[in-house]
Amino acid sequence: MNGDAIRVLFVTPECAPLAKTGGLGDVSAALPAALRQLGIDVRVLLPGYPGVFAAVNHARELARLTLFEPPLASRLLETRLATGVPLMILDNPPLYRRDGGPYQNASGEDWRDNGLRFGLLSKAAAVLGSTSSPLPWRPQVIHCHDWPAALACAYLHYASGPRAANIVTVHNLAFQGNFDPGMVASLGLPPASYAADGLEFHGRMSFLKAGLVYADAITTVSPTYAHEIQSEACGAGMHRLLQRRRSVLSGILNGIDAAAWNPATDPYLPHHYRSDALERKRLDKQALQDRLQLAHDPDDVPLLGVVSRLTHQKGADLLVQAALELAALPAQLVILGSGQREHEDALRALAAHAPGRIAVTVGFDEALAHLIEAGADMFLMPSRFEPCGLNQMYSQRYGTPPIAHATGGLTDTIVDYSPGTLAAGNATGFLFDQPTVAALLAAVRRAVAVYRERDNWRMLQQNGMARDFSWIAAARQYAELYLRLAARRGSPP
Ligand code: ADP
Ligand code: GLC
């Protein structure tokens, strides 16, 4: 990295494959790699969960940090990700080395001390961006991802002396990190920060709000979502604040890791295929059917795939309600996901009711996720809201047209089928306007009709496979933003 490269600390609670519960893990792996290709000196800061140490062979100690009162001693370790991107690990065994996920224990309950766990991550990031940093490497920009990192913006606001500029990226406004107001003092923030124009949010202290109030720039992961969150319906209580801050708010559409998600080379697939040899995709469909004990139905029975967190956001309840009608089209339905217990149970019951037609796998399974993208004929995403969404981009690349609610990033990445959009070479999937069972079923029926017109379906698949969803466009926009903020901030810490 040349000495003039702009220095950016990328602060995140997830980074695939070391820690991933959803799209943020994918983004935190791929975006820094794309930024380094543009010559940005970006380094990732991640808590030292057990999965991080299991995947990392050797990490060198960079510094020790003693933060908060009573003091919490942590180590800062350095290693590299598989992509070559430097990774700093915030190692605090009592807080992070626990069995379970980044935010929850094995039973799916939030860790009770999440305020402290991610307050520490945020505080460590802010220290590294200020003159009190123990490191010679001083970031000019701190890039905070979602609420677990967002409190860094408040710490930097209250720091003295030269300090890094900061950005908060909102991957999902519904996750806000709201805690007891007593945390303001425990986390070493001044009492004055707990105010309506500061951290206070309906009687709680809010990490995400701290980011939205204090960051130099706010980004979110698609232009449509950036617009939607300024409305009462989608603003999760923060829409007025976002309206006030709209001059620093922008939407930068996520990309996908085009090497990891490529049907011509994907190591998880038993059969590889390209857009000019799509008949081979059928072999993956059969492999998927065999793996899940589904019948080899005739070719005109489409297989509908879902890979998703099973939550209200993702419309899991709509899938539950629509499943039997979908199966009766006829179609096969394959669902992989985990999330709210009621949806998991309802889906399992449906699978038991329609064996050979509906297959439900509850859990997190990277290999099966890839096989569903390849083996399905169509991919369903009835999300009520979707900041960006990655699966609809994966599915287009795999020749598996998505059927999705027209919201957020789904609107920005899918071109709805019509004879006109197909003739223009643009159509890539099917969008529906309302997150209802009726609208979902109508869109699937529309898709099934096109599926039976083999040539048109082939064109739809090929249009999707030809789309460029690589990270480079997004990385350029982030790089421009970093440069602008660093120039405005002047001398680094
Ligand atoms: P979100 O982050 O809101 O869950 P995204 O579409 O951005 O939604 O990203 C979801 C990511 O997580 C994708 O890479 C998807 O394949 C993956 N994923 C979600 N659920 C599972 C699962 N049960 N097993 C494997 N991968 C999953
Ligand atoms: C969030 C959003 C999802 C987005 C992902 C990565 O989890 O729910 O829409 O794709 O973050 O930005």
337 lines ligand 1 (CB under 6 A): yes
Alpha-carbon 340 to chain mean position: 18
The ligand 1 atom nearest the CA atom of 254: 7
Alpha-carbon 205 to chain mean position: 24
Helix (H), strand (E) at residue 403: strand 402-405
Of 10, 176, 388, the one to substitute when testing ligand 2's pocket (max ligand atoms within 8 A of C-beta) is 388
Predicted confidence at residue 2, as pLDDT, reads 73
Would you state the CATH architecture of domain 7-255+472-489? Answer: 3-Layer(aba) Sandwich (3.40)
> How many angstroms separate the CA atoms of 223 and 388, rounded?
9
Q: How far is CA 25 from CA 19, 110, 312, 352, 390, in A?
A: 6, 18, 21, 32, 11
Q: Which ligand number lies closest to the CA of residue 20?
A: 1
Q: State whether residue 404 is helix, strand or coil.
A: strand
386 lines ligand 2 (CB under 6 A): yes
Q: Which ligand number lies closest to the CA of residue 390?
A: 1
Torsion, CA 62, CA 133, CA 37, CA 28, rounded to 10:
80
The DSSP 8-state label assigned to residue 203 in this structure reads T
Q: Which residues contact 423 (CB under 8 A, 6 or more apart)?
A: none
Predicted confidence at residue 377, as pLDDT, reads 98
365 lines ligand 1 (CB under 6 A): yes
Residues 451-478, buried b or exposed e (16+ Cβ, 10 A)? Answer: beeeebbebbbebbbeeebebeebbeeb
From ligand 1's centre to the CA of 273, what distance in Å? 23
> How many angstroms separate the CA atoms of 209 and 153, rounded?
10
Return the CATH fold of 278-466: Rossmann fold (3.40.50)
Write out the chain's pLDDT in tens, 493 residues.
Answer: 777 899 999 999 999 999 999 999 999 999 999 999 999 999 999 999 999 999 998 999 999 999 999 999 999 999 999 999 999 999 999 999 999 999 999 888 999 999 999 999 999 999 999 999 999 999 999 999 999 999 999 999 999 999 999 999 999 999 999 999 999 999 999 999 999 999 999 999 999 999 999 999 999 999 999 999 999 999 999 999 999 999 999 999 999 999 999 999 999 999 999 999 999 999 999 999 999 999 998 888 999 999 999 999 999 999 999 999 999 999 999 999 999 999 999 999 999 999 999 999 999 999 999 999 999 999 999 999 999 999 999 999 999 999 999 999 999 999 999 999 999 999 999 999 999 999 999 999 999 999 999 999 999 999 999 999 999 999 999 999 999 999 988 777 7
For 326, other C-beta atoms within 10 Å of its C-beta total: 24
Of 14, 15, 172, the one to substitute when testing ligand 2's pocket (max ligand atoms within 8 A of C-beta) is 172
Tell me whether domains 7-255+472-489 and 278-466 share a fold. yes
Burial class (CB in 10 A: 0-12, 13-18, 19+), 267: exposed
Q: State whether residue 247 is helix, strand or coil.
A: helix
Q: Which ligand number lies closest to the CA of residue 145?
A: 2
Of 12, 15, 20, 24, the one to substitute when testing ligand 2's pocket (max ligand atoms within 8 A of C-beta) is 24
From ligand 2's centre to the CA of 284, what distance in Å? 27
From ligand 1's centre to the CA of 335, what distance in Å? 12
Predicted confidence at residue 299, as pLDDT, reads 84
Q: State whether residue 259 is helix, strand or coil.
A: coil
Quick one: tokens of 89? 């690990």
Quick one: tokens of 346? 């309802």
For 304, other C-beta atoms within 10 Å of its C-beta total: 27
> How many angstroms separate the CA atoms of 277 and 213, rounded?
51
Q: State whether residue 411 is helix, strand or coil.
A: helix
Strands (E), 15-164: 41-47, 60-67, 72-80, 86-91, 141-145
Q: Are the C-beta atoms of residues 397 and 278 closer than 8 Å to each other?
A: no
What residue segments make up the domains of the chain, in order of their start? 7-255+472-489, 278-466
